[in-house]
Structure 1
Amino acid sequence: MLDIKMIRQNVDEVKEQLGNRGVKPEIIEEIVAKDRKRRDIIVQTETLKKQRNDVSQAIAQLKRNKENADAQIEEMKKVGDAIKAFDEELNGLDEEVTDMASRLPNMPNKTIPVGPDEDSNVELRKVGTPRTFDFEPKAHWEIGEKLDILDFERGAKVAGSRFLYYKGWGARLERALYNFMLDEHAADGYTEIIPPYVVNDESMYGTGQFPKFKADVFQIENENLTLIPTAEVPLTNYYRDEVIPEEKLPVYFTALSPSFRSEAGSAGRDTRGLIRLHQFNKVEMVKYTKPEDSYAELEKMTNDAGRIMEKLGLPYHVITLSTGDMGFSAAMTHDLEVWLPAQDMYREISSCSNTETFQARRAHIQYRDDNGKLQFVHTLNGSGLAVGRTLAAVLENYQNEDGSVTVPEVLRPYMGGLDVIK
């Protein structure tokens, strides 16, 4: 969430920066106007409270002198009624301003590309060379179904579209991938966490999913609980409403979790395969840092995700997202996209974002600096990696003409030594 004081003091800049993210200037103007009215009421209320105190003292003096204080008592009653009315109006304005501000996206870092959509994204680097096939590469869902390791038909029968069963070596390969990822991140200094897979509304608000994106999640009816769309939510809320000791920073967390997404608005997109499911496994990375360290930590996080693909031998590239393509909470995002031969294109497999103080302000996560002053931490999150998409990339990049799939060397210890899935 953006600081109301910052918005008030930098109205033109906020209009320009958030305008690049699709926010109309009238929304900023309305927030500023309501905030101005709120502050005016505070001044009037404080004036009335001083008047009430003065009248109260006058009444006490009159009573001590055994004089009539009816007029002053009537005056104090009117002042009290006015204060009550102002307080009610103030509470309403507080709620309105907070609600409107909570729906504003983060201010983008000034160095990122400005543009309305993904066409404005900028490629930073390519890593690895896509394999040249001497046969027509098949899509991962076709490979998986022919090997009898992915069962989409029965997944749809039991749960609905965009669900599946991993079966036999498919289940083993999925497990091998996420165990490999967790081991790599643990070796890089991340503390492994097994988080709750359901969270309350306060947690969803803290990371920016609520109130704006309720349509994108699965909620438990009649409960203040939501199935997590990503482990970012429970990992970032670990320190919600807490002050982290400065000496602990930076904090690195990693976790495997299922992710549940309604995929609202994605009708007709990626209806086949593992790219866009309602339930999928993901290994997440989350960091809490001091503000001055967060962008260096973003680069490290991006490299941590990339190193997983490099060890798996998967070609990928890194792009910086434009203002129009970036997620709600992010100030800067690097996407890592893996090469899928059957689609002849790169597809997203990880997003690494710095949210600066946006989530910390919503979730009240602070630390005390060298001067003893409370400051908001910066929070970062990234996929390390989306497991199903990684499995899709392995099947497509390591497929053989006879329909078998070679197991990447780093995964073989996790696969009982198996080198080819036949």
Structure 2
Amino acid sequence: MHDIRAIRENPAAFDAALARRGLPAMSSDILSVDEARRAAILAAETAQAAQNAASKEVGAAKARGDEAEFERLRALVAEKKAEVAAMNEKAGAEDARLKSILETIPNLPLPEVPEGADEAGNVELRRWGTPRGMDFPPKEHFDIAGAKVGLDFATAAKLSGSRFVVMQGAVLRVHRALAQFMLDTHVNEHGLTETWTPVLVKDEAMYGTGQLPKFTEDSYQTTNGWWLVPTSEVTLTNFVAGEIVDEAALPIRMTAHTQCFRSEAGSAGKDTTGMLRQHQFEKVEMVSITTPETSLAEHERMTGCAEAILQKLGLPYRVIVLCTGDMGFGATKTHDLEVWLPGQNTYREISSVSVCGDFQARRMNARFRPAGGGKPEFVHTLNGSGLAVGRCLIAVLENGQQADGSVDLPAVLHPYLGGKTRITPDGALA
């Protein structure tokens, strides 16, 4: 949510930032509604003051025994009461109109974010690792013999439709091991607090992180009103909704491994084969709550936490900064990590780490009390994948594949697999 005062103070800067997002100028329309809202509020307050003054005079007239004046003032109070109610209703309507505009406008990009219309404008920051040379044509994960045994898309389609998978055996063991490895690394080495949260949330939680109202079609809602979380960013970030925390308690750093659910409403025809883009998947999420002064440093730290997972797994990747036209709705700056997939002969996104500034905090009314005193300020929120478990499984399978259809597994996973080091061509751990 945007700060209306900031728009009032510098409408040109607001419009310039929107232009970098590829959006038209909006400050004039916003300020017109804001002016009508403020006028309605002032009118309501003025009417209320007149009602209060008349109410006091009613008692005085009664005490003097001036029956005519008493009746006149009593009628005036009734008239002012109706006027106040009408003015308050109008002020409420104008306030709701302003909110409905502001809540659908995306966050403004930081000045250092590269300008661009789409993913072609993203800028690569660095690479790690060298893709392994293979003396055979590399296959995609669903065609590798050892993995194919444990990936059942036909049964999943029978049960649920497209973009689901049933996993069994060795592949599932590796999937589970990846999630445990990620959690252990984030907790033991990165200082994140492991957290277990519901996957069913109320409207307010989805609104707080920006999924509602703009992206209703991208999420699933139950018949009794709960929403299935698209990521535990929703639950973890909303821990501070409506709260005022002490600055000494910041930063708050959490991680959670959950099921995630997305309708993929805007991705028709994309990545329909395999596990890359599914309606139900697992993710290990990272969320940080910070002060405004520390959020950019925290963004770099969180990016490093996600990179550490890929490095320990020995998976080549690159880090890119998203351009203004490719950033998510709530982000003010985003780093994407793209892992090398030999089967596709390209890098694909496996993590997105974003700093949101006070954009989500304003929606949630999440603030902190400065250590040096003064009025409470809005916190800054950050979120990032650490990592998407299914996509990480794809990368492990494709990068570890051998000519005979077996898969060599990363050394850091061996302790989680009872010392097993590979998936055989027939789909067993060995």
CA distance in 2, matches of 1:145, 1:45: 72
SS in 1 for 2:221: coil
How is 1:81-100 mapped onto 2 (pairs within 5 angstroms)? 81-100=82-101
Matched, 1:392 2:394: yes
Q: How far is 1:229 from its partner?
A: 0.3
| Corresponding residue SS for 2:15 | helix
Contact residue 230 and residue 260 of structure 1 kept, 8 A? yes
Shift of 1:344: 1.2
Matches of 1:154 and 1:103 in 2, distance apart?
Answer: 40
1:218 aligns with 2:181: no
Structure-2 change in CA distance of 1:411 and 1:145 (3 Å): closer
Map of 2:258 onto structure 1 = 257
CA distance in 1, matches of 2:394, 2:411: 17
Q: SS where residue 94 of structure 1 aligns?
A: helix
CA distance in 1, matches of 2:378, 2:216: 26
- Cα shift readout 1:371-396 (whole Å, capped 9, x = no counterpart): 14211111100000001111101111
Q: C-alpha distance in 1, partners of 2:97/2:261?
A: 30
Partner of 1:254, secondary structure, is strand
Q: For 2:256 and 2:41, how far apart are their aligned partners in 1?
A: 45
Alignment of 1:85-124 (within 5 A): 85-124=86-125
Per-residue deviation, 1:272: 0.6
Could you give the per-residue CA deviations for residues 267-317 of structure 1, whole angstroms, max 9, x where no partner exists?
A: 110001111000111000000111100100000000100010011010000
TM-superposition CA deviations, 1:334-355 (whole Å, max 9, x none): 0000011121111000000000
Q: Distance in 2 between matches of 1:257 and 1:60?
A: 64
How far apart, CA to CA, are the structure 2 residues paired with 1:92 and 1:382? 37
Q: Alignment length, in residue pairs?
A: 420
Residue aligned with 1:367, SS: strand
Query: Which residue is equivalent to 1:406?
Result: 408
1:200-241 deviations in Å (ceiling 9; x for gaps): 1100001100011010011101x2201110011111111211
For 2:283 and 2:92, the matched residues in 1 are separated by: 41
Kindly state the Cα deviation for residue 148 of structure 1 after the two structures are TM-superposed: 0.3
Q: Distance in 1 between matches of 2:52 and 2:180?
A: 67
Q: CA deviation at 1:420?
A: 1.4
Identity of paired residues, percent?
48
1:324 equivalent in alignment to 2:320: no
Q: What's the offset of the Cα at 1:50?
A: 2.2
SS of 1:329's partner is coil
Amino acid at match of 1:13: A
2:28 maps to: 29
Q: Which moved more, 1:150-159 or 1:69-78?
A: 69-78
**1:64, distance to aligned residue in structure 2 (A):** 2.1
Unaligned runs of at least 5 residues, structure 2: 425-430
Contact between 1:405 and 1:421, CA under 8 Å: does it hold in 2? yes
Any conservation in 2 of the 1:147–1:403 contact (CA below 8 Å)? no
- For residues 226 and 61 of structure 1, what CA distance do their matches in structure 2 show? 57
Native 8 Å contact 2:110 2:333 kept in 1: yes
Q: CA deviation at 1:144?
A: 5.9
Hey, what's the Cα distance between the residues in 2 that align with 1:65 and 1:204?
59
Cα gap change, 1:144 to 1:79, in 2 (>3 Å): farther
2:336 and 2:352 in contact (8 A); partners too: yes
In 2, are the aligned partners of 1:275 and 1:388 still within 8 Å (CA)?
yes
Return the alpha-carbon distance in structure 1 between the equivalents of residues 55 and 197 of structure 2.
Answer: 55
Match of 1:16? 16
- Output the CA distance in 2 between the equivalents of 1:146 and 1:295: 40
Give the corresponding residue for 1:280.
281
Range with greater deviation from structure 2 (71-80 or 11-20): 71-80
CA contact (8 A) 2:146 2:405 kept: no
CA distance in 2, matches of 1:164, 1:107: 37
CA distance in structure 2 between the partners assigned to 1:22 and 1:80 by the alignment: 47
User: Corresponding residue for 1:202?
Assistant: 204
Q: Which moved more, 1:368-377 or 1:312-321?
A: 368-377
Query: Is the 1:144–1:150 contact (alpha carbons within 8 Å) kept by the matching residues of 2?
Result: no
Report if aligned partners of 1:252, 1:286 keep a CA contact under 8 Å in 2: yes
How far apart in 2 are the matches of 1:164 and 1:124?
Answer: 34
**2:408, 2:118 → 1: CA distance?**
37
1:418 partner amino acid: K
Cα distance in 2 for residues equivalent to 1:326 and 1:83: 45
Q: How far apart in 2 are the matches of 1:8 and 1:121? A: 31
* TM-score, length basis structure 1: 0.97
The yes-or-no answer on 1:51 pairing with 2:53 is: no
Aligned partners of 1:23 and 1:104 also within 8 Å: no
Name the amino acid aligned to 1:17.
A
SS in 1 for 2:144: helix
Q: Distance in 1 between matches of 2:163 and 2:174?
A: 20
| Superposition deviation, residue 146 in structure 1 | 5.8
Instruction: Give the structure 2 partner of residue 292 of structure 1.
Output: 293
Calculate the TM-score normalised by the size of structure 2: 0.95
Q: What amino acid is the match of 1:374?
A: P
Q: Distance in 2 between matches of 1:231 and 1:151?
A: 26
Gaps in structure 1 of 5+ consecutive residues: none
Alpha-carbon distance between aligned partners in 2 of 1:267 and 1:344, rounded to the nearest angstrom: 22
Q: Cα deviations across residues 89-144 of structure 1 (Å, max 9, x unaligned)?
A: 11111111112111111111111011111111111101111111111000111116
CA distance in 2, matches of 1:97, 1:147: 53
Supply the distance in 2 between the matched residues of 1:88 and 1:411 (Cα, whole angstroms): 62
Hey, which bits of structure 1, 4+ residues long, moved more than 6 A? none
| Alpha-carbon distance between aligned partners in 1 of 2:186 and 2:275, rounded to the nearest angstrom | 23
